[in-house]
A and B are shown apart, each in its own frame.
Chain A
Amino acid sequence: MIPASFDYVAPATLDEALAALQRHGDGAKIIAGGQSLLPILRMRLNAPEILVDLGKVSELRGVFDDGPGLVIGAMTRYDELLSDPLAGAHAKLLVDAVATVADPQIRHRGTVGGALAHADPAGDVGAPALALDAQFVVVGPRGQRVVDGADFFVDHFTTAVGDDEILAAIRIPKHTGWGTRYEKFVRVVHQWSIVGVAAAVRVEGDTIAEAKIGLTNMGSTPVRARSAEQALAGVPIEEGAVAAAVASVAEGTNPPSDLQGDADYRRHLAQVLTRRAVLAAAGA
């Protein structure tokens, strides 16, 4: 399978990349790691006139400490994030989730920004980013804007990033010392989540002081489980109490029904996986 013809540019800077997007309008498509885009082009589900490759834009790559938070460049590859000491110390939930994405070869190419911009509801990167209160740094011809998670994910494969804009980075407030767990339910190990649950908890003594939970594939975008988070605050780290607190985690969600499972099955999974994720994150 070979994609339809397209032109190609590989700018060296963010400004050049933005200029290329401006010049070519909606005929242009960004390529980051290509791990979602190339399968789409090969199946000819999309046929852009020109690919703008961000692979040489080094300013978009790397993890930086800005004091209260971490800035993760959009072109940071999964594999780089997995071995990054700052990410491991302050954004461990994202690292846990990324470790479950696809297989080693794809983790050597795929990027954090590409996954978030692609916004596949079954993708594993959105839910932990949302749970950790990530902010999305988007640059375009009118300058830079910062978008909250609630506004970034709009629908299936749709984000707040415009055709002439680039997701440059995400900024995650440090969650140093939080316990974390990404529970991913799949039938084939290197595939997308049927349901995934990202949980981070701050433990005080033997109770959960604070919990943050994101759900994968429980709707057209990643979902933040706010009511379960509230119910978990102050709950003892004990199976029955945690199970009771998360019993209604799937309420109000609108998961898909497909060959992997129907919506009710996914709601059941969300509840079971949230209990497991929270208990594991709390070190139970």
Chain B
Amino acid sequence: MTRINVKVDGVDHTDEVEPRMLLVHYLREQVGRTGTVVGCDTSNCGACTVHLDGRSVKSCNVLAVQADGHEVTTIEGIADGDRLHAMQQAFHDCHALQCGYCTPGMIMQSIDLLNDNPNPSEDEIRHGLEGNLCRCTGYHNIVKAVQQAAGAGVGGGGGR
């Protein structure tokens, strides 16, 4: 067992974990943040996307021990109380989900995308989401949601 210190959604955690434990399992099973889901388990689908020190990663492809000393933000850590993050609100407004399984990862990656590029073209949005698969929506409304959030200032600092 290895002792790790990780800040998850603003709260410090100290835990003993097996080195082989994947970050996504640590978040779900040990910290109880089940908003982050496992889709493919092969690092392809992006459903498990979280932010590690503010940058998006696939949490099924990171070990919990690699997050030692770092800060993780999950889909459960972006709203302000009952007030949704502008990206969550945009997904809601634009009907950017159907079954919703890809949504936690899609939203986390979309926020990362706008942090990098606050005013992306449609093409840049589609490329920025190339590591996130959606089997329901055909992506159209997801692109619209990211455009709405960009218009609301996500990535420009006014996103909350």
Q: Which residues of A contact B (CB under 8 A)?
A: 1-8, 10, 31, 34-35, 38-39, 41-42, 51, 53, 55, 79, 102-106, 108-109, 189-190
Contacts and interface: CB of A to CB of B under 8 A. Distances in A.
B119 interface: no
Given A38-B43, A38-B62, A104-B128, 9 more contacts: A6-B20, A7-B19, A8-B2, A10-B68, A35-B61, A105-B46, A105-B109, A106-B131, A189-B127
Contact of B19 (A8, A104, A106, A108): A8
Query: Mostly helix, strand, loop or mixed at chain B's interface?
Result: mixed
A1 B41 contact: yes
Nearest to A5: B20
Nearest to B61: A38
B25 to A, nearest CB: 7
A35 B65 contact: no
Contacts of A109: 57, 61-62
Nearest to B55: A108
Contacts of A10: 65, 68
B73 interface: no
Given A104-B131, A108-B57, A2 B43 contact: no
B122 interface: no
B27 to A, nearest CB: 15
Contacts of A190: 44, 130-131
Given A38-B62, A38-B63, A53-B66, A106 B130 contact: no
A189 B46 CA distance: 14
A105 B62 CA distance: 11
Contacts of B109: 104-105
B113 interface: yes
Contact of B66 (A3, A42, A55, A79): A55
Contacts of A8: 2, 19, 63, 65
Interface string B83-112: 000000000000000000000000001001
20 contacts: A2-B20, A2-B25, A3-B20, A6-B19, A8-B2, A34-B61, A38-B62, A39-B43, A42-B42, A51-B19, A53-B65, A103-B131, A103-B132, A104-B112, A104-B113, A106-B61, A108-B52, A108-B57, A189-B127, A190-B130
B147 interface: no
Interface residues of B, number: 33
A237 to B, nearest CB: 28
Contacts of A108: 52, 55-57
A114 to B, nearest CB: 13
Nearest to A103: B131
Contact of A39 (B2, B25, B61, B68): B61
Contacts of A106: 43, 58, 61, 131
A4 B57 contact: no
A2 B38 CA distance: 12
B57 A5 contact: no
B138 to A, nearest CB: 16
Interface string B13-36: 000001111100100000000000
